[in-house]
Amino acid sequence: MDYTNQKNPQNYSQMEDLKTLDLEESVSETIMRDLKMIAYKLKYVLIPKEQEDNGKELRNWDLWGPLIFCLALAMTLSFKADSTTNSSKSDVFAIIFVLIWVGAFVVTLNAQLLGGKVSFFQSVCLLGYCVFPINIEAIIIAFIGSYLPFVVKLIPVIICFAWSAYSSVGFMASLVPPHKKKLAVYPVFLFYLFLSWFSLIV
């Protein structure tokens, strides 16, 4: 049980070997390792050039990443929400949270009903990781949004929405038979459109 010469893992399978040694290490090490895993998967999902092995990495799904991004988005938007008028902070948080998880669930269910053979959580994991660009745009708009007119705010929104949609559409379209591709892809598009709209509006 020698921890002193653990190098940084070169790829994810090396990270797996290290997992069995985690009972005796410090909490910060455990947390950092999980954060690195999330960062690795994020790069893999969002930057298409990293996907050399045709998406096999996606089989190692986890829900920590999606949870972190979902909470971050819901908190960013609810901090910005004006608690005096139409929508209170807790309303916003609840709507975003439910929207992300129920939305991911329904989109995945839709792909399965159309005949796609995919593990349920693998798909939810991917959809959750692709929420990250929406997070970025929500933070941008939260900080500098009040100084910009509505039309200028649309630019980062559209870019991040396109990035999210593009990252997840490739995976979703590959799941279903060719004549039903658009039927599987449209809900993904609608899901990210909804989230982008909220980050713009709130």
Where do contacts with other proteins occur on this chain (CB under 8 A)?
16, 19-20, 22-23, 30-31, 34, 37, 59-62, 64, 81-82, 85-87, 91-92, 95, 99, 106, 109-110, 112-122, 146, 149-150, 179-180, 182-183, 186-187, 190, 193-194, 197-198, 201-202
Q: Cβ closer to other proteins: 95 or 136? A: 95
Q: Cβ closer to other proteins: 49 or 112? A: 112
Q: How far is the CB of 57 from other proteins (least distance, A)?
A: 12
Please spell the DSSP secondary structure of 93-146, one letter per residue.
HHHHHHHHHHHHHHHHHHHHHTT----HHHHHHHHHHTTHHHHHHHHHHHHHGG
Q: How far is the CB of 23 from other proteins (least distance, A)?
A: 8
Q: CB of 132 within 8 A of CB of 46?
A: yes
Q: Cβ closer to other proteins: 46 or 114? A: 114
Q: Cβ closer to other proteins: 81 or 127? A: 81
Q: How far is the CB of 87 from other proteins (least distance, A)?
A: 5
CA dist 65 and 39 (Å) reads 8
Q: Cβ closer to other proteins: 113 or 159? A: 113
Q: How far is the CB of 173 from other proteins (least distance, A)?
A: 12
Q: How far is the CB of 125 from other proteins (least distance, A)?
A: 10
Q: How far is the CB of 61 from other proteins (least distance, A)?
A: 6
Q: CB of 171 within 8 A of CB of 55?
A: yes
Residues in contact with 196: Cβ distance below 8 Å, sequence separation at least 6, in sequence order: 134, 137, 157, 158, 160, 161, 164
Q: CB of 104 within 8 A of CB of 66?
A: yes
Q: Measure the N-to-C terminal CA separation of the chain; round to a whole number of Å.
A: 51
Q: CB of 184 within 8 A of CB of 111?
A: yes
CA dist 108 and 120 (Å) reads 7
Q: Cβ closer to other proteins: 167 or 196? A: 196
